[in-house]
Structure 1
Amino acid sequence: MPTILAEAARAGNWLLLTAAVAGLLAFAVCAVRLTVTDLREHRLPNRWTGTLAAAGAVTLGLGCLADDDGWSRFWSMLGGGAVYLVLLLVLHLISRAGMGMGDVKLAGGLGLYAGWVGWDQLLAAIVLGFVVGGVVALTLVVTRRATGATHLPFGPALLAGTALALLL
């Protein structure tokens, strides 16, 4: 995302720059709210996962209109949302107790953002989300604040992984 922002600013493409910044602001607001809620209540409300996805689709979709690679970026955005959602849906169906539908719905919105930047960022977002979740779980087990049977919220790890990927 930093490269896209820098290129848009250098080229004077203010619509693309505004759309990307608006998308990032929406991502940040939703990410904070979803993280706090998931840590407190172990749930990801539809209201906020839907807002994340809708805000990304609208702001980044408008950015596609202002970009020379707009159609490519648009299909990458939609494909990213679908791929991430389907991947987590399959994981949810395989391990019903391990991952909730809130995580699945969240992944669809996160995939829009990561996919808009590119397929490499989508892959990075997925991998980093699982790495962050694994590191947090391992740290909690090693420090004896959790056991193998402890249910940990996964939304914050998914959000952190996508945020890191967007910064690449």
Structure 2
Amino acid sequence: MPSVLAETVREGNWLLLAAVVAALAVFVVCGTALAVTDVREHRLPNLWTGRLAAGGAVALGLGCLASDVGWTRFWGMAGGGAAYLALMLVLHLLSRTGMGMGDVKLGGALGLYAGWLGWDHLAGAVVLGFVAGGVLALVLVVVRRATPSSHLPFGPAMLLGTALALLA
């Protein structure tokens, strides 16, 4: 996103800039609410996941209209949302006690954001999310705040991975 923001300022594409800033604001507000709730309650409320997805789709969709590569971004956004959602759904079905449906729906919302930037950002978001989750789990086991069989919230790791991919 930083490169997109810099490019829009350089080109004077203020509509695209406004759309990207709005999308990032939605990401920060909804992502914060989701992360806090998941850590406290081990759930990702549909209300916040829906706001993240809808807000991102609207803002980034407007960004597609204002971009020279609008259709590429649109199909990346749609495909990214579907791909991340499908991946998380498969993981949910394979491990009934691991991934919840909240993680699946969050994957769809996060895929919109990462996919809008391109497939490489989407892959980065997924990989970084799993790395962040693994590192967090390892640290908690080492400091004896969790055991290898503990159920840890995965939403914050997914959000962190996507945030890092958006910054790349």
Sort the TM-score into its range (normalised by shorter chain).
over 0.9
Partners of 2:18 and 2:56 in 1: CA distance: 13
Aligned match of 1:141: 141
Amino acid at match of 2:11: A
Partners of 1:159 and 1:96 in 2: CA distance: 21
Amino acid at match of 2:147: T
After superposition, the C-alpha distances for 1:45-99 in whole angstroms (9 at most, x for unaligned) are 0000000000000000000000010001000000000000000000000001001
Aligned match of 1:84: 84
Aligned match of 1:102: 102
Partners of 2:119 and 2:4 in 1: CA distance: 14
Runs of 4+ in 1 over 4 A off after TM superposition: none
TM-score, normalised by the number of residues in structure 1:
0.99
Displacement of 1:3 after TM fit? 0.5
**Structure 2: any 5+ residue segments left out of the alignment?**
none
**Structure 1: any 5+ residue segments left out of the alignment?**
none
Aligned match of 1:37: 37
Partners of 2:19 and 2:136 in 1: CA distance: 33
Give the number of equivalent residue pairs: 168
TM-score, normalised by the number of residues in structure 2:
0.99
**How many percent identity over aligned positions?**
72
Displacement of 1:149 after TM fit? 1.3
Amino acid at match of 1:132: A
